[in-house]
Amino acid sequence: MRPFTHYDAHAVEEALTLLKRYNGRAVLNAGGTDLLSALKGEYLLHYPEAIINIKTIPDLAYIREDGDMLRIGALARLSDVVNSPLLRKRYNALAEAAYSVATPQVRNMATLGGNLCQDIRCWYYRYPRHIGGPIGCLRKGNKACLAATGDNRYHAIMGGKGCFAVCPSDTAVALAALNGRIKIVGTRGERSVPVTDFFHPLGNELKRGEMVREIEVPRITGMVRQTFLKFTLRRPVDFAIVSVASVIAVPRGRCREARIALGAVGPAPVRATAAEEWLKGKPISEATAAEAATAALTGARPLRMNSYKVEIAKTLIKRALTS
Amino acid sequence: MHGQAIEKNNMLHLTVNGKRYALEQGSRSDQVAPEHTLAYTLRETLGLTGTKVSCDEGACGACTVIMDGKTILSCMTLTIECDGNSITTIEGLSDPTTKKLDPLQQAFIDHTAFQCGFCTPGMIMSAKALLRENPAPTEEEVKEALAGNFCRCISHYHVVKAVMAASVKSR
Ligand SMILES: Cc1cc2nc3c(=O)[nH]c(=O)nc-3n(C[C@H](O)[C@H](O)[C@H](O)COP(=O)(O)OP(=O)(O)OC[C@H]3O[C@@H](n4cnc5c(N)ncnc54)[C@H](O)[C@@H]3O)c2cc1C
Ligand code: SF4
Ligand code: FES
Ligand code: FES
């Protein structure tokens, strides 16, 4: 890695002040499992001048219910999310999604905030310097997206605009189905956005000088069934080819509410609103699940090499609903 | 170096295999620079070459060490962020006075749980962390704990047997 100046931030405010001082030339380091790849591969056009370690900020790794909200600090480790008795019991889709991430070692290091803020995995974008990169593309300010005409087997089937990289975060998918929100802080104050709006086709909602402080989820009460299913070629390590998270309430055999989120299909997790509406009041059966799956994917516009993702998504939705 | 050096009185404290190190920050070969990974510091600065680096991007587990009780990837960790931490590497498993191997290491030998051996230190560290938390794991739990350790030589089957054998012995 090339040299940089290093800081340990001991409070959120300190991290924000440093971000402001460096005005775009500093980056935060949480677990480092994504950032260090970027620093080693040098695939971004600008190498940061400073790294700000935020693991030294105390009391930002909590997982607790507080009134009608579940609150998780940005520094909670994925392994803590996986092992939290509270999450296992009442927010299992999130615990399962975290468990599906990478490997035990990565989960011991990676934070929930970092998982949501991690950079995309497009192989053109990440082509490292030591084998001939970086490669310029639309996301890096050039004219064309190389994946649009190149090998796009793992790219978006819906919602891509200019860039067709998919949101790599598994926890984002579960949080989308749980109606989660991301709390963002900057030197000018705090705001909160729904997880589905956090991810943009060319980046995310964070503006220069901002960071994620907390993840909040409306408290789950009553009987709901939650699932997180992820299709990969190998079970550990691999990123999702498609994933589905669902949160459904089916009292007395009829669906009262269904929330279905699709992952790795677009720049953000995609809520299958048409399917959710259609399911309301209906019994859950093989037939209604199949109809819902079809409704969920009607908006899909696959690229040359990834129409197979449509079928996988439909199958995962059917399994999630009928499991 | 800039601001950091002044703010932090320039010393970095690590405990590695029970031994305490006070390392200066800087770019000399016996110092730690901000861009040094823990894998680099262990191997190049402290001479503990038992920890291996293979993919150098978080995917293979060859560089696994135990930090404060948990397995982590030393290739994805900045040494400068480990101040005050306690690290165990493969060199720290044998008995410091008798040099007798840890039962887990012996089990790897007894079951020939390696071929080229490059993944082995990482495998053993993951298995060690598991057995410390769960001395009598099921085979499934062993596989789960080793899911982040890759072996190009396909020693996995023998590794699982070795870990199961070591766990039975430690009961
Ligand atoms: C081998 C491997 C396999 C993987 N497989 C998966 C997978 O299957 N599913 C999946 O979801 N992920 C996967 N990942 C990605 C991994 O989950 C992420 O690298 C990790 O979650 C990032 O968390 P971190 O704390 O290490 O982030 P860091 O690497 O510290 O940070 C990542 C980015 O987010 C920024 N950042 C971190 N925290 C904040 C914050 N609080 N506010 C604002 N910005 C912040 C950093 O500046 C940096 O740009 C894999 C990674 C590896 C190495
Ligand atoms: S998908 Fe996005 S990141 Fe990948 S080449 Fe196209 S513009 Fe670049
Ligand atoms: S060398 Fe660290 S994970 Fe491969
Ligand atoms: S024994 Fe050769 S990589 Fe595992």
Q: What pLDDT does B5 receive? A: 42
Q: Where are the domains of chain B?
A: 8-90, 103-170
Task: Verify whether the Cβ–Cβ distance B147 to A33 is below 8 Å.
Answer: no
Determine the distance separating the centroid of ligand 3 and the alpha carbon of A275, expressed in angstroms. 42
Report which ligand 4 atom has the smallest distance to the Cα of B153: 2
Task: Verify whether the Cβ–Cβ distance A104 to B78 is below 8 Å.
Answer: no
- pLDDT mean for each 10 residues of chain B (171 residues): 51 97 95 98 98 98 98 98 98 95 97 97 98 96 97 96 86 51
Helices (H), chain A: 12-22, 35-41, 78-83, 85-90, 92-99, 104-109, 112-117, 146-149, 170-177, 195-198, 273-279, 286-296, 308-322
Q: How far apart are CA B137 and CA A30, in angstroms?
A: 31
Per-residue b or e along A92-112, where b marks 16 or more CB atoms closer than 10 Å to that residue's CB: bbbbbbbbbbbbbbbbbbbbb
Q: Is A244 helix (H, G, I), strand (E, B) or coil?
A: strand
- From B153, B154, B157, B158, give the residue whose CB has the most ligand 4 atoms within 8 Å, as the site to mutate: B153
Determine the distance separating the centroid of ligand 1 and the alpha carbon of A181, expressed in angstroms. 18
- From B49, B53, B118, give the residue whose CB has the most ligand 3 atoms within 8 Å, as the site to mutate: B53
Per-residue pLDDT band for A304 (boundaries 50, 70, 90) equals: very high
Regarding the beta carbon of A182 and ligand 2, being less than 6 Å apart is answered no
Q: Count how many residues are written for chain B.
A: 171
DSSP per-residue string spanning B48-109: -TTS--SSSSSSS-TTEEEETTEEEEGGGSBGGGGTT-EEE-GGGSS-TTT-PPPHHHHHHH
Task: Verify whether the Cβ–Cβ distance B35 to A3 is below 8 Å.
Answer: yes
Residue A115 has pLDDT above 60, yes or no: yes
Topology agreement, domain B8-90 and domain B103-170: no
Structure token pair of residue B17: 């295999």
Determine the distance separating the centroid of ligand 4 and the alpha carbon of A100, expressed in angstroms. 25
Name the residue among B8, B70, B147 with its Cβ closest to that of A108.
B70
Q: How far apart are CA A144 and CA B137, in angstroms?
A: 52
Say which CATH class B103-170 falls into. mainly alpha
**Site residues for ligand 1, CB cut-off 6 Å:** A 27-35, 74, 101-102, 106, 109-111, 113-115, 117-118, 168-170, 206, 211-212, 237, 239; B 58-59
Residue A251 has pLDDT above 80, yes or no: yes
Q: Report the complex ipTM.
A: 0.96
Per-residue pLDDT band for A254 (boundaries 50, 70, 90) equals: very high
Structure token pair of residue B167: 């766990």
Q: Which fold would CATH assign to domain A225-322? A: Enolase-like; domain 1 (3.30.390)
How far apart are the CA of B97 and the nearest CA of chain A, in angstroms? 30
- Calculate the CA A118 to chain-centre distance: 8
Per-residue pLDDT band for A292 (boundaries 50, 70, 90) equals: very high
pTM value is 0.97
CB-CB neighbors (< 8 A) of A104 in chain B: 71, 126, 144-145, 147-148
pLDDT in tens, A165-193: 999 999 999 999 999 999 999 988 999 99
pLDDT in tens, A208-233: 999 999 999 999 987 799 999 999 99
Q: What pLDDT does B169 receive? A: 57
Q: Where are the domains of chain A?
A: 63-117+180-218, 225-322
- State the count of interchain CB pairs (< 8 A) between A and B: 91
Say which CATH class A63-117+180-218 falls into. alpha beta
CB-CB neighbors (< 8 A) of A1 in chain B: 35, 37
pLDDT in tens, A141-166: 999 999 999 999 999 999 999 999 99
| pLDDT mean over A60-78 | 97
Average pLDDT taken over every residue of chain A: 97
Task: Verify whether the Cβ–Cβ distance A236 to B81 is below 8 Å.
Answer: no
Structure token pair of residue B81: 């962020």
Q: Which fold would CATH assign to domain B8-90? A: Ubiquitin-like (UB roll) (3.10.20)
Task: Verify whether the Cβ–Cβ distance B35 to A39 is below 8 Å.
Answer: yes
Q: What pLDDT does B170 receive? A: 52
Minimal-distance CA residue of chain A relative to B68: A108
